[in-house]
A and B are shown apart, each in its own frame.
Chain A
Amino acid sequence: MKTKLLLPNCFKRPGWIILIPSALLGLFIIIFDYDFSFLETRVFTIYSGSFPLKDSGWFSVIESNLTNTIVGVLFIIGAVFVAFSKEKTEDEFIAKIRLESLLWATYINYGVLLFCFIFFYAFEFLYVMIFNMFTILIFFIIRFYYMLYRSNKSLGHEKQTEN
Protein backbone atom coordinates (compact mmCIF):
# COMPACT_ATOMS: atom_id res chain seq x y z
CA MET A 1 0.00 0.00 0.00
CA LYS A 2 1.48 3.32 -1.04
CA THR A 3 1.66 5.40 2.09
CA LYS A 4 1.36 8.59 0.09
CA LEU A 5 -2.31 7.69 -0.27
CA LEU A 6 -2.66 8.04 3.51
CA LEU A 7 -3.20 11.20 5.54
CA PRO A 8 -0.37 12.39 7.80
CA ASN A 9 -0.22 11.01 11.33
CA CYS A 10 -1.22 14.40 12.80
CA PHE A 11 -4.79 13.79 11.51
CA LYS A 12 -5.24 10.89 13.94
CA ARG A 13 -5.93 12.84 17.13
CA PRO A 14 -8.33 15.44 15.63
CA GLY A 15 -10.00 12.48 13.93
CA TRP A 16 -10.82 10.84 17.27
CA ILE A 17 -11.88 14.19 18.75
CA ILE A 18 -14.40 14.65 15.91
CA LEU A 19 -15.41 11.00 15.61
CA ILE A 20 -16.35 10.13 19.20
CA PRO A 21 -18.73 13.06 19.94
CA SER A 22 -20.35 12.84 16.50
CA ALA A 23 -20.83 9.07 16.88
CA LEU A 24 -22.52 9.55 20.28
CA LEU A 25 -24.59 12.44 18.99
CA GLY A 26 -25.52 10.45 15.90
CA LEU A 27 -26.75 7.53 17.99
CA PHE A 28 -28.72 9.94 20.17
CA ILE A 29 -30.48 11.67 17.27
CA ILE A 30 -31.33 8.35 15.61
CA ILE A 31 -32.63 6.65 18.78
CA PHE A 32 -34.68 9.66 19.95
CA ASP A 33 -35.42 10.96 16.44
CA TYR A 34 -34.17 14.33 17.61
CA ASP A 35 -33.54 17.47 15.55
CA PHE A 36 -31.98 20.71 16.77
CA SER A 37 -34.64 23.30 15.93
CA PHE A 38 -32.07 26.08 15.44
CA LEU A 39 -30.67 24.10 12.51
CA GLU A 40 -33.94 24.49 10.61
CA THR A 41 -32.97 26.45 7.55
CA ARG A 42 -33.19 26.85 3.81
CA VAL A 43 -30.62 24.79 1.96
CA PHE A 44 -29.53 24.27 -1.61
CA THR A 45 -30.27 20.83 -3.02
CA ILE A 46 -29.37 19.17 -6.32
CA TYR A 47 -32.72 17.38 -6.53
CA SER A 48 -35.78 17.39 -4.36
CA GLY A 49 -38.71 15.31 -5.47
CA SER A 50 -40.44 14.66 -2.20
CA PHE A 51 -42.83 16.47 0.10
CA PRO A 52 -43.47 19.44 0.11
CA LEU A 53 -44.09 19.40 -3.60
CA LYS A 54 -43.86 23.17 -4.00
CA ASP A 55 -40.09 22.92 -3.50
CA SER A 56 -39.51 20.00 -5.84
CA GLY A 57 -37.21 20.06 -8.80
CA TRP A 58 -33.59 20.26 -9.81
CA PHE A 59 -31.17 22.72 -8.23
CA SER A 60 -33.65 24.29 -5.86
CA VAL A 61 -33.55 25.75 -2.37
CA ILE A 62 -35.67 23.90 0.18
CA GLU A 63 -36.57 24.10 3.83
CA SER A 64 -34.81 21.42 5.85
CA ASN A 65 -33.15 20.56 9.14
CA LEU A 66 -29.37 20.25 9.07
CA THR A 67 -28.95 18.13 12.24
CA ASN A 68 -28.48 14.83 10.37
CA THR A 69 -26.34 16.47 7.70
CA ILE A 70 -23.90 18.06 10.12
CA VAL A 71 -23.58 15.02 12.39
CA GLY A 72 -23.18 12.71 9.38
CA VAL A 73 -20.55 14.89 7.74
CA LEU A 74 -18.59 15.21 11.01
CA PHE A 75 -18.76 11.46 11.58
CA ILE A 76 -17.46 10.67 8.09
CA ILE A 77 -14.64 13.24 8.34
CA GLY A 78 -13.64 11.99 11.80
CA ALA A 79 -13.81 8.33 10.79
CA VAL A 80 -11.80 8.89 7.59
CA PHE A 81 -9.14 10.80 9.57
CA VAL A 82 -8.89 8.00 12.13
CA ALA A 83 -9.01 5.19 9.58
CA PHE A 84 -6.69 6.53 6.92
CA SER A 85 -4.05 8.57 8.68
CA LYS A 86 -0.57 7.09 9.00
CA GLU A 87 0.57 5.34 12.14
CA LYS A 88 3.55 6.85 13.97
CA THR A 89 5.77 4.31 12.26
CA GLU A 90 4.68 2.82 8.95
CA ASP A 91 6.03 -0.30 7.32
CA GLU A 92 4.91 -3.15 5.11
CA PHE A 93 3.57 -5.12 8.06
CA ILE A 94 1.24 -2.27 9.10
CA ALA A 95 0.24 -1.86 5.44
CA LYS A 96 -0.66 -5.55 5.30
CA ILE A 97 -2.82 -5.31 8.43
CA ARG A 98 -4.50 -2.23 6.94
CA LEU A 99 -5.25 -3.88 3.62
CA GLU A 100 -6.52 -7.07 5.28
CA SER A 101 -8.73 -5.05 7.60
CA LEU A 102 -10.17 -3.15 4.66
CA LEU A 103 -11.07 -6.41 2.89
CA TRP A 104 -12.45 -7.86 6.11
CA ALA A 105 -14.55 -4.73 6.80
CA THR A 106 -15.95 -4.79 3.24
CA TYR A 107 -16.94 -8.46 3.57
CA ILE A 108 -18.59 -7.95 6.97
CA ASN A 109 -20.32 -4.77 5.82
CA TYR A 110 -21.86 -6.41 2.77
CA GLY A 111 -22.63 -9.57 4.74
CA VAL A 112 -24.65 -7.52 7.21
CA LEU A 113 -26.25 -5.54 4.36
CA LEU A 114 -27.22 -8.75 2.55
CA PHE A 115 -28.84 -10.07 5.71
CA CYS A 116 -30.73 -6.81 6.28
CA PHE A 117 -31.74 -6.60 2.60
CA ILE A 118 -33.56 -9.90 2.99
CA PHE A 119 -35.07 -9.36 6.44
CA PHE A 120 -35.97 -5.64 6.56
CA TYR A 121 -38.50 -3.88 4.36
CA ALA A 122 -39.95 -0.44 3.68
CA PHE A 123 -39.23 2.24 6.25
CA GLU A 124 -37.17 -0.06 8.50
CA PHE A 125 -34.82 -0.63 5.60
CA LEU A 126 -34.18 3.10 5.48
CA TYR A 127 -32.61 2.80 8.95
CA VAL A 128 -30.48 -0.08 7.67
CA MET A 129 -29.26 2.15 4.84
CA ILE A 130 -28.50 5.01 7.24
CA PHE A 131 -26.36 2.74 9.42
CA ASN A 132 -24.78 1.12 6.39
CA MET A 133 -23.36 4.47 5.28
CA PHE A 134 -21.09 4.39 8.31
CA THR A 135 -20.56 0.73 9.19
CA ILE A 136 -17.77 -0.01 6.70
CA LEU A 137 -15.60 2.66 8.34
CA ILE A 138 -16.59 1.48 11.82
CA PHE A 139 -15.80 -2.17 11.04
CA PHE A 140 -12.48 -1.17 9.48
CA ILE A 141 -11.42 0.97 12.45
CA ILE A 142 -12.37 -1.75 14.97
CA ARG A 143 -10.57 -4.51 13.08
CA PHE A 144 -7.45 -2.47 12.22
CA TYR A 145 -6.87 -1.25 15.77
CA TYR A 146 -7.69 -4.65 17.21
CA MET A 147 -5.02 -6.24 15.00
CA LEU A 148 -2.49 -3.55 15.97
CA TYR A 149 -3.37 -4.15 19.62
CA ARG A 150 -2.90 -7.90 19.18
CA SER A 151 0.49 -7.54 17.52
CA ASN A 152 1.56 -5.17 20.32
CA LYS A 153 0.35 -7.67 22.89
CA SER A 154 2.43 -10.47 21.39
CA LEU A 155 5.40 -8.09 21.61
CA GLY A 156 4.99 -7.87 25.37
CA HIS A 157 5.08 -11.64 25.52
CA GLU A 158 8.31 -11.77 23.46
CA LYS A 159 9.93 -9.18 25.66
CA GLN A 160 9.45 -11.37 28.74
CA THR A 161 10.86 -14.49 27.13
CA GLU A 162 13.83 -12.57 25.80
CA ASN A 163 15.02 -11.38 29.18
Chain B
Amino acid sequence: MKNKLKIERAIKDITQEELAREIGVTRQAINSIELGKYVPSTILALKLSRFFGKPVNDIFLLEDND
Protein backbone atom coordinates (compact mmCIF):
# COMPACT_ATOMS: atom_id res chain seq x y z
CA MET B 1 0.00 0.00 0.00
CA LYS B 2 1.24 3.46 -0.91
CA ASN B 3 0.22 6.65 0.83
CA LYS B 4 0.34 10.36 0.18
CA LEU B 5 0.57 11.34 3.79
CA LYS B 6 3.79 13.27 3.38
CA ILE B 7 2.35 15.19 0.43
CA GLU B 8 -0.88 15.95 2.29
CA ARG B 9 1.16 17.11 5.23
CA ALA B 10 3.24 19.36 2.99
CA ILE B 11 0.07 20.87 1.50
CA LYS B 12 -1.26 21.64 4.96
CA ASP B 13 2.24 22.70 6.02
CA ILE B 14 2.30 20.86 9.32
CA THR B 15 5.04 18.79 10.90
CA GLN B 16 4.82 15.11 11.85
CA GLU B 17 4.76 16.22 15.47
CA GLU B 18 1.77 18.53 14.97
CA LEU B 19 -0.13 15.96 12.93
CA ALA B 20 0.56 13.28 15.55
CA ARG B 21 -0.77 15.55 18.28
CA GLU B 22 -3.90 16.43 16.28
CA ILE B 23 -4.69 12.78 15.56
CA GLY B 24 -3.68 11.52 18.99
CA VAL B 25 -0.88 9.12 18.04
CA THR B 26 2.90 9.08 18.48
CA ARG B 27 5.17 10.81 16.01
CA GLN B 28 6.76 7.41 15.40
CA ALA B 29 3.41 6.16 14.06
CA ILE B 30 3.10 9.01 11.53
CA ASN B 31 6.73 8.61 10.52
CA SER B 32 6.40 4.83 10.05
CA ILE B 33 3.26 5.27 7.94
CA GLU B 34 5.03 7.81 5.73
CA LEU B 35 8.00 5.48 5.33
CA GLY B 36 5.64 2.67 4.31
CA LYS B 37 6.71 0.58 7.29
CA TYR B 38 3.36 0.61 9.02
CA VAL B 39 -0.18 0.16 7.76
CA PRO B 40 -2.54 2.11 10.01
CA SER B 41 -5.79 0.71 11.37
CA THR B 42 -9.08 1.70 9.76
CA ILE B 43 -9.76 4.04 12.68
CA LEU B 44 -6.46 5.85 12.25
CA ALA B 45 -6.91 6.03 8.47
CA LEU B 46 -10.39 7.55 8.96
CA LYS B 47 -9.04 10.06 11.47
CA LEU B 48 -6.36 11.13 8.98
CA SER B 49 -8.98 11.34 6.24
CA ARG B 50 -11.18 13.55 8.45
CA PHE B 51 -8.23 15.76 9.38
CA PHE B 52 -7.19 16.35 5.76
CA GLY B 53 -10.79 16.58 4.59
CA LYS B 54 -10.22 13.99 1.87
CA PRO B 55 -11.53 10.47 1.30
CA VAL B 56 -9.31 7.65 2.60
CA ASN B 57 -8.85 6.50 -1.00
CA ASP B 58 -7.15 9.78 -1.86
CA ILE B 59 -4.57 9.34 0.89
CA PHE B 60 -4.02 5.58 0.87
CA LEU B 61 -3.67 3.66 -2.38
CA LEU B 62 -3.63 -0.08 -2.96
CA GLU B 63 -0.75 -1.52 -4.95
CA ASP B 64 -0.82 -4.51 -7.30
CA ASN B 65 0.62 -6.88 -4.71
CA ASP B 66 -1.96 -5.97 -2.04
Contact = CB atoms under 8 A, between A and B. Distances in A.
Interface string B41-62: 1011000000000000000000
Interface size class on chain A is 10 to 19
Contacts of B15: 162
Given A151-B31, A154-B31, A155-B28, A93 B16 contact: no
Contacts of A151: 28, 31-32
B31 A92 contact: no
* Chain A binding surface SS class: helix
A33 interface: no
A92 B28 contact: no
A155 B15 CA distance: 12
A117 B17 CA distance: 48
Given A91-B24, A92-B41, A158-B16, 13 more contacts: A91-B26, A92-B40, A93-B28, A93-B29, A93-B32, A94-B26, A94-B29, A151-B28, A154-B31, A154-B32, A154-B35, A155-B16, A158-B34
